[in-house]
Structure 1
Amino acid sequence: MQSNSPSQAGACSNDREKHLLFNAVLREDMEQVQSLLETGACVNAQEEEGGWAPLHAAVQNCREDLVSLLLEHGADPLLRKRNGATPFIIAGIMGHVGLLELFLSKGARVDECDHNGFTALMEAAMYGHEAAARFLHANGAEVNLRQPARKEQARLRKGGATALMRAAEYGHPAVVKALLELGAEVNIRDNCGRNALIYALWNSREKSAEAVARLLLAHGVDVRVRCERHKTPLMLALERRHEDVARLLLEQEQLDVDATDRELSTALQVAVQLGLNDAAQRLCLRGASTDCGDLVMMARRSYNRALVQLLRQHGARDHLQAPATPWKVQSPRWGRALMHLRDTYRPMLGRLKIFIDPEYKVADTSEGGVYLGFYEGQEVAVKRFHEGSEPGQKELACLQKHRQQGHLLTLYGCEKHSGCLFVCLALCERNLEEQLLQGARAAARSKKSSQEDDFAQSVCSSLFEALDKLHRSGCAHQDLQPRNVLIDSKNAVWLADFDKSTDKAGDEEIKTDLKALGLLVLYVAQKGDISWEKLKAKSEEEGKKLCPDEETQDLLQCLFCPGDKPQGLLPELLGHPFFWSSEKRYRALRDVGNESDIKTPNSNGKLVQILNTDPAGHSRDFTQWTSKIDGNIMKKMNNFYERKGRSGYQDNVTDLLKFIRNIGEHISEKKNKSMKSIMGEPSQYFQEKFPSLFLYVYQRLKNTDYAHHFQKNSPASLCGHGMERTVGSQMECGELS
């Protein structure tokens, strides 16, 4: 039975005997090994650090006689070290054909691997053992087997190497030649996209790298493959100063001599930076473009006059310092970096100037990041994708479909270069998450709080309009979150990041957007105090408890439960009380209080009947409202009616509205100066005393003949398609998340 870890090894009651046997094998002391085994030493005991057992050490020493003796006394031929290596794999490392054959006869599998995915063939190739490699192949080893990777390694794009790659990496031309003869595929790539040629160029020994590269090129290896940072084999050869390999590569017809890496550097730039004059000359003769940066200045910095002259002969220009042209940076946050970029020479990618460098990075993305740039002289944020990227194509298609539409981030254009797609967008200062964090810091410094949250209303109304534009065109965003909401230098709000969007939006996709929009409303209302991830995990009831007021709670209800016809809801919701200022709410309540049925009391009037019939369960902070008004003010207002022999104000909604109307009409009169000093600004006073009053009146009247009081500031009809849509707390919903 195969042991998988040191903990599964045979227990040894005598630690001293265990160490004695292991040390005797290390010393290759056959006589003492024999004696210890005969006295009962634990043959399968493993040391703690690496899980080595006596059999592993005997194989490493290439002692067939010791191996046979240990096996005769019960040594497990399949016992694994802590890293998963078996005696068979160690025999591959040592290149010992006799031991490989022995362990195959004892049950070893020819392609078994350790915990890192290495097989005996891979190890034999890595250590340069040609005979062992040929033996293993003759006994069934898969020559093109790729090194498997554990889950965490695969996420880092580790693994996938073959025996050929390992032989190339460690500079063993004889093994490379043998593996190619045995059918090794020269263009297999590992999980990071590298082939055997890239592995060969990692070798620091130039002569072995050249010999391996020559073999691989003879078998048609792809010279256009890329490694880390998108570098080509030619760039890698030059960086490692393998000039003979570079010469071989320049003889290949399919070579793209002007290919660029992630920093948009070419092979010629690498050669000039390193002062490789011969390589630079060969590149120029092969037709490499000299318009790829300030090459002459690079050569000047190293005082390389010969290289300066060579570059000039092949058309390189002296980029002399030009007088600065008038230009005013637009972005306060990115201004310094933009000025530096503007003054730095970079080859244009069509109409785009960009430098892939950390100094100019705006944000990380799942693909190529966002960088500062200039598109036709305009400051832009450049989102980079692989040219065939599906998210990139989605982003570009959605932006092109909605050019210059309100509150959807502006697309200026795009460029393609060296396998990358550069999407040029309006440059913003920060995202919503950063904006709220900055606002919280400013509020903490000033120690001020505002009853009005103009910012929250501005952000939310902008998002409502942007999302409505998308939905009306048949698209849905599908990734609404604070980091995808951007704020520009003029504090305008823009919806961005359409790489998960769909242009086939049905009711379910729209509902997904609306629910996410509701969460964004809550996030803004909470000023970002609760993280987005925690907010998404809240249930509907938990979310309601987080709402700072009833208007926010009701708006969330509308978004979470849009009914059977979610299309077209957003313009209607722009008239929701959430978007009304205290002053506008106060003005609307005064106007309702000025209706004849209220101003001249008519207990049988339609309006009075609607407002004084309170729906069960509604929160009523205006119940017994007369007791909540300052006593002196209430007394003075009641005196007016009592002098006329009429009863004063009663504890009902219509009398409260009449009171608000009368206060609004007379509060500024000179005789009411003392009342004004007590009350202050009426709009704030009534908002603080009766925060749920406006929503109550709004909900009671929105679908009646009196709805016109709430349509003055709305771009569309209020929440509902006529009488069909019911918005409010009576609708049943599920989870926020």
Structure 2
Amino acid sequence: MVEGENSQLLLRLVQEGRLDLLRDELRRNDMLGPSVRSQRYGRLEETLLHHAARYGHQDVLAYLVEELGMDFEAFNSDYKRPLHEAASMGHGECVSYLLERGASVDCLKKADWTPLMMACTRQNLEVIKVLVEHGANPLLKNKDGWNCFHLASREGHPHVLQYLLDVSPGSWDTESTIKRTPLHTAALHGCFDAVELLLERCQYKPDSRDKCGVTPFMDAIQNGHVNVARLLLEKHQACPTAVDALGAQALHRAAITGQDEAIQFLVSELGVDVNERTTSLQLTALHYAAKEGHVHTIQTLLALGADVHAKDGKSRSALHVACAGQQADAARLLLRVGLQDTPDGTGLLARQLARKPDVIQVFQEMNIST
């Protein structure tokens, strides 16, 4: 093995692309050559080839392969090959060189990612084209069931999606292991242009559900992407009151994530009932906001007409839920707007809150006995 300072010097020269100095260093010490081929660096046990590919130094890559005889199919502890590194960083010359030398185009790293999948996390269409032209299969899936089209949808690059549809027209018709489509993914990440393209060129069913019953519209709403939600309503006939596997609507999911603008959109523009309950536990959006401690969302819901006295299927008010979740600020707000439990109810809350002095203090501030 290459030892100490020599090892780190060689690594630095490779990372900086200093081919002349690298060649000179190895010429000065003929004994280093054989050791360099097997030298590994860092926690992931990477070769110099991995580093040359990652930093995009094609001339260094060629020298290591052709002059030192390093194995371009060497993998690190994550089973990542130099081709994965070059593809993931968008280094087209390195990708082309490795493929021309015979690198396996669909080699798999940990979690079954191919170089093409990694290339699709970036906007470099030329790298994607090179991989496809050398036989990369766009339909392969990783361990989560995502193919390249899924990944490009997450990144929101319409030109990459257009190309993938051109070379592999069926690549859109895919679901992950939990039944999420690329449309779910694009909506979740707020990729408006990608969603628009998917609605134009693909045949996704309106309100398709993943294993949790979540629709693309719900994904957009719960992440605050109102523009994407509008698009799904206008061009895909999405249902704003569809329910997930737990009986929750987009309104409830927006309350969980504290998306006030989305809540305003649902209630004020679409006419969704602010006091709508889940079909399972009979929870309102106010219950969810209280549980999460989203004071600003509680204020938004109250301004829209949320019933502060509404009880869920277990006769719990939003105040009960806030207290059970140790949400002092939410409890303070709910008390201030006029919610007063019966003495028995207040006693129950006090017992629930015995471990949280700052929440008990809220009741003391309001002169409510605990």
**TM-score where L is the length of structure 1:** 0.37
User: What is the distance in 2 between the residues matched to 1:25 and 1:138?
Assistant: 29
What is the Cα deviation at residue 320 of structure 1? 6.3
What is the Cα deviation at residue 277 of structure 1? 1.5
Among 139, 142, 165, the residue aligned to 1:180:
165
What is the Cα deviation at residue 58 of structure 1? 1.2
Among 174, 178, 181, the residue aligned to 1:192:
178
CA RMSD of aligned residues (A): 3.3
Aligned pairs (5 A) from 1:20-35: 20-35=9-24
Quote the residue 1:171 is aligned against.
Answer: 156
Quote the residue 1:278 is aligned against.
Answer: 265
Native 8 Å contact 1:250 1:283 kept in 2: no
| Cα distance per residue 1:147-183 (max 9 Å; x no partner) | 1x3xxxxxxxxx2111111122223232222222222
Query: CA distance change for structure 1 residues 100 and 274 in 2, over 3 Å: closer, same or farther?
Result: closer
Query: Is 2:145 aligned against 1:160?
Result: yes
| Greater percentage in strand | 1
User: What is the distance in 1 between the residues matched to 2:63 and 2:196?
Assistant: 46
User: What is the distance in 2 between the residues matched to 1:132 and 1:235?
Assistant: 34
Aligned pairs (5 A) from 1:126-137: 126-137=121-132
Native 8 Å contact 2:107 2:115 kept in 1: yes
Native 8 Å contact 1:58 1:67 kept in 2: yes
Query: CA distance change for structure 1 residues 73 and 295 in 2, over 3 Å: closer, same or farther?
Result: closer
User: What is the distance in 2 between the residues matched to 1:196 and 1:340?
Assistant: 35
Native 8 Å contact 1:268 1:283 kept in 2: no
Quote the residue 1:466 is aligned against.
Answer: none
Native 8 Å contact 1:111 1:141 kept in 2: yes
Query: CA distance change for structure 1 residues 255 and 31 in 2, over 3 Å: closer, same or farther?
Result: same
Aligned pairs (5 A) from 1:283-298: 283-284=270-271, 292-293=276-277
Native 8 Å contact 1:193 1:225 kept in 2: no
What is the Cα deviation at residue 268 of structure 1? 3.5
User: What is the distance in 2 between the residues matched to 1:180 and 1:47?
Assistant: 39
Quote the residue 1:214 is aligned against.
Answer: 196
Quote the residue 1:55 is aligned against.
Answer: 49
Quote the residue 1:76 is aligned against.
Answer: 71
Native 8 Å contact 2:87 2:118 kept in 1: yes
Native 8 Å contact 1:258 1:289 kept in 2: no
What is the Cα deviation at residue 16 of structure 1? 4.2
| Cα distance per residue 1:385-409 (max 9 Å; x no partner) | xxxxxxxxxxxxxxxxxxxxxxxxx
| Cα distance per residue 1:465-490 (max 9 Å; x no partner) | xxxxxxxxxxxxxxxxxxxxxxxxxx
Native 8 Å contact 1:37 1:43 kept in 2: no
Letter matched to residue 292 of structure 1: E
Query: Is 2:218 aligned against 1:235?
Result: yes
Runs of at least 5 residues in structure 1 that lack an aligned partner in the other structure: 1-11, 150-158, 312-317, 322-338, 346-357, 360-737
Higher relative contact order (CA 8 A, sep 6+): 2
Q: How many residues are matched?
A: 296
User: What is the distance in 2 between the residues matched to 1:176 and 1:212?
Assistant: 8
Among 201, 210, 217, the residue aligned to 2:187:
201
**Secondary structure of 2:270's partner?**
helix
Query: CA distance change for structure 1 residues 138 and 282 in 2, over 3 Å: closer, same or farther?
Result: farther
Native 8 Å contact 2:123 2:160 kept in 1: yes
**Secondary structure of 1:180's partner?**
helix
User: What is the distance in 2 between the residues matched to 1:195 and 1:279?
Assistant: 24
Bigger Rg, which one: 1
Percent identity between matched residues is: 23
Runs of at least 5 residues in structure 2 that lack an aligned partner in the other structure: 278-282, 290-296, 318-323, 326-370
Quote the residue 1:538 is aligned against.
Answer: none
Native 8 Å contact 2:274 2:285 kept in 1: no
What is the Cα deviation at residue 60 of structure 1? 1.4
User: What is the distance in 1 between the residues matched to 2:158 and 2:148?
Assistant: 13
Aligned pairs (5 A) from 1:101-140: 101-140=96-135
User: What is the distance in 2 between the residues matched to 1:253 and 1:175?
Assistant: 22
Native 8 Å contact 2:13 2:19 kept in 1: yes
Among 238, 241, 245, the residue aligned to 2:228:
245
What is the Cα deviation at residue 86 of structure 1? 0.9
User: What is the distance in 2 between the residues matched to 1:102 and 1:265?
Assistant: 52
What is the Cα deviation at residue 269 of structure 1? 3.7
Quote the residue 1:492 is aligned against.
Answer: none
Query: CA distance change for structure 1 residues 135 and 303 in 2, over 3 Å: closer, same or farther?
Result: closer
**TM-score where L is the length of structure 2:** 0.70
| Cα distance per residue 1:402-430 (max 9 Å; x no partner) | xxxxxxxxxxxxxxxxxxxxxxxxxxxxx
Query: CA distance change for structure 1 residues 222 and 113 in 2, over 3 Å: closer, same or farther?
Result: farther
Quote the residue 1:341 is aligned against.
Answer: 313
User: What is the distance in 1 between the residues matched to 2:53 and 2:285?
Assistant: 59
Quote the residue 1:416 is aligned against.
Answer: none
User: What is the distance in 1 between the residues matched to 2:106 and 2:155?
Assistant: 21
What is the Cα deviation at residue 15 of structure 1? 4.7
